[in-house]
Amino acid sequence: MGCAPSAVNVSRKPASKVVAPEEPQTKGEGDQSEGGREPSDLQLISKEADYSMFYGKMKFRSNSMTILLVFGKEDAQCEAFRKAADKGNYQTTLTKTPESAIESFAENQQDLVIIDCRHSKHFDAVKLCKTLKERHPRGHSRFLALTNKCDKDEPSVLPLLNAGFSRRLVENTNITSCYNELLSIDHSELEYRSHQQVQTSAAMYHALNHVSESIEITDSKFRTEFVNRLWEKQTGYSSKEVIGTEFQDKLQVDNCNEEQTLVYHAKKNQIWEGQQSIRRKNGDIIRCKCRIIPMMSNSNTASRYILVRQTVDGYSQWDRLKDIDSKTHVSYAGMMYQRRKDSITRFHTMTIETPLSRVINMLYEAQTSSGTGNIVHSALEKVLDILQSTELFSPHIHQVKEEDPLTSDYVDGLCDRTAINSQTNRQIYGQKSSISSSSSKLQVGVASKQSLSMYKPSAEVQSLLQGNATWSFDIIQLESLTNKNVLVPLGIKIFERFGAMELLGIDEHVMASWLKLISDNYHSGNPYHNATHAADVLQATAYFLDKMRPKKLLDAQEEIAALIAAVIHDVDHPARSSSFLVNTKNDLAILYNDIAVLENHHAAKGFQLTHKSDNSNILKNLDREVYESLRHNVIDMVLATEMAKHFEHLQKFIHLCAANIKPVSEDDLEKKSGGSSSAMESGLDSPENRRQILRMVIKCADVSNPARDTHLADRWARRIAEEYFQQTEDEHRKNLPVMMPHFDRNTCSIPHSQYKFMEVFLLSMFEHWDGFLDIPEVYEQLQKNYKYWKDVEIQEKQEKQNAVATETSPATPAVLS
């Protein structure tokens, strides 16, 4: 992509030659320096703008500083900075407008940004700085404000600091002065060097986790600071159990004298090697080769100790057991391995093969070739157990659940953890399927011509519907204007926009009759799962389908299927969860074998109503092949709204995007503009991938109200809370298991429940959805509402504390005159 006319790239000169320092002379093994005197964090060994650094003994090259100049016009000061940057071999980009500055900074993340604050007529420098900081709040860049010289009193620098500027520079057109400023900033102020240190540290810790010896690092008082994975396997303790504790005593064998302890040898502040017996968590005694390495500080005292252990004879006493009859003896690990091997022999005779089974077969072969009793074999054993579990995509959030019961309520209640854990196959029903349920309180029929008279919307409704393609569309206002009959006018507008009537071969009267029939079968008394919610999901679905990537990937039939699925996705919802229906042995739970009870019912009920009469059958003119394909997609999308499969669908979508969406390069854009096929998304248009995208369309639309404008999100939050309150009260009345006990209207904090729901289910999903669709307005509003609910919770807590303080404070005695 070429630069905009307002952005100018200034190429830098070739970097000066870097000369590596002489390696320090290696001393003897027992010498104190072998333990490693702590080196300085950074050593600059080159001149000017190109550096090589040492972090410990790791050498890495740091790129020269990059600079973004934001000047409304090119003047002597601008030219001075450009020449100074050129003198220092710094790569410089000049922009003249806020838009080009934002674009350049988003693409290049320059280390230093100099903004001209002298002339307010060109742009608002303070606002620009805030914008750049907000776009990249975790960046390492520094922002400098260039100001005029002051003949009078020096103005306060506080407004600039509050805006995000790091410091102020007074205008000075002397090139040497500008060059010195850049050098001082580069050598002393930039945070990207510490940023590179952090990355280097992460690389070293990652390497420590993959070495063949167990590593433990302690402070000078032998409090554990780090253990690697092999240490955890060797001792049986997890890192969480030992970090921050003096753990050596727990590893010592009983009756161990002082000279046999590692602490005794470590205090000598010299490298020591020897053997040591340690006790594992399960009580087993193992023998290890041990090496203690002190890290010496400048005061010749040890600031850290590094303990390296290597098992001499296996991890446990199982490995040392020897049977008298070696021909018949089999160790416990050997028996388990033999059983696994026998099972895989039968497994290979299966004629049905899936991608997952192929992966498992390959891992079995790798495990067989690795032998028994080693780390690889044990690791593959764990991997195989995980791959063969039934919840591959379910997150492990047990600790979060223990710390926050409300999160536990959400996961157990919404994800239906009490229901049967088995994979639900897609149910394809015939055209004449029928459902009878004692739980349905419906009057199923055809919309009358008299009821259709209300479809002529008022001028006020028509005006509101003009904004149906925007994310800020106010569905609550439409509900008020139409007396809760929102689905018909909004539905006709959206289906007309997508050309649905032409594709389905029907007129507007059939579409209106179908929408009215579906709307009548939503329970208007439900606080949340009503026709307004269906209309809200329909509008969000249409909004997502309008974006560029779905428009490119999905055909018209798939778009119409998504809109139909949105309309029927909660039809005949009883305002109770599937778990409630299972616990009450409801007819629907019996009919669907306790599996995705509500979702199966919504899909079946939607088609049952559609086929009830030709007057409202929007699918009556479709060919069989088209009908079957559309029906298949609609059912698949409705079933995808089951929250029990939330994490599975999300993880599949993330893997789909990671595998098929590559970073956009300049060459890719040129090929695309030239009409050739794009290699960036070659795999997205496969049938299975398009189905997964459709599932995400309706999933995100179904739970999108927390990302609406704050006043709308607040209304929806209180509606869903009311529905949960009613279910909790019903469960108490009927002496049933309470699925979400924290949704008690007397004690529940709605703000807390909302931002916890966002944390568990929404933030990650919409972050990836934004990355796929490019909908920052949705994701940013979700983040804004997340902060809103946190602030409301803090305010509510403060009000409660003030109320308690007022109640408990002694009464003020009356003053007698």
Question: Active-site residues: which are they?
Answer: 529
3-state SS, residue 250: helix
- Range 324-333, long-range pairs (CB < 8 A, 24+ positions): 333/372, 333/373
Contact 119, 150 (CB under 8 A): no
Q: How far apart are CA 290 and CA 310, in angstroms?
A: 7
Does residue 133 sit in helix, strand or coil?
helix
User: Strands 112-116 and 142-147, how do they pair?
Assistant: parallel
Residues 65/190, Cβ–Cβ less than 8 Å: yes
Q: Which residues pair with 169 in a beta bridge?
A: 146
Residues 707 and 780: beta-carbon distance below 8 Å = no
3-state secondary structure of 668: helix
Distance CA 170, CA 145 (A): 8
Q: Do 123 and 148 meet the contact criterion of CB atoms below 8 Å apart?
A: no
Cα separation, 523 vs 439, in Å, equals 12
Strand partners, 93: 9, 68
Is beta strand 58-62 parallel, antiparallel or unpaired with respect to 51-55?
antiparallel
Look-up: residue for tokens 């504390």? Answer: 801
Decide if 220 contacts 301 (C-beta within 8 A). Answer: yes
Q: How many CB atoms lie within 10 A of CB 193?
A: 20
Q: What is the DSSP letter of 252?
A: B
Q: Which single residue is written with the structure tokens 């439409």?
A: 478
Nearest to 601 by CA among 439, 758, 794, 728: 439
Distance CA 417, CA 395 (A): 12
User: CB under 8 Å to 313, separation ≥6 — which residues?
Assistant: 286, 287, 319, 320
Query: Which tokens in the block code for residue 583?
Result: 């616990």
The answer to whether residues 439 and 586 touch, using CB atoms and an 8 Å cutoff, is yes
Q: Rounded to whole angstroms, how far apart are CA atoms 276 and 127? A: 64
Of all helices (H) and strands (E), which one includes residue 189? none
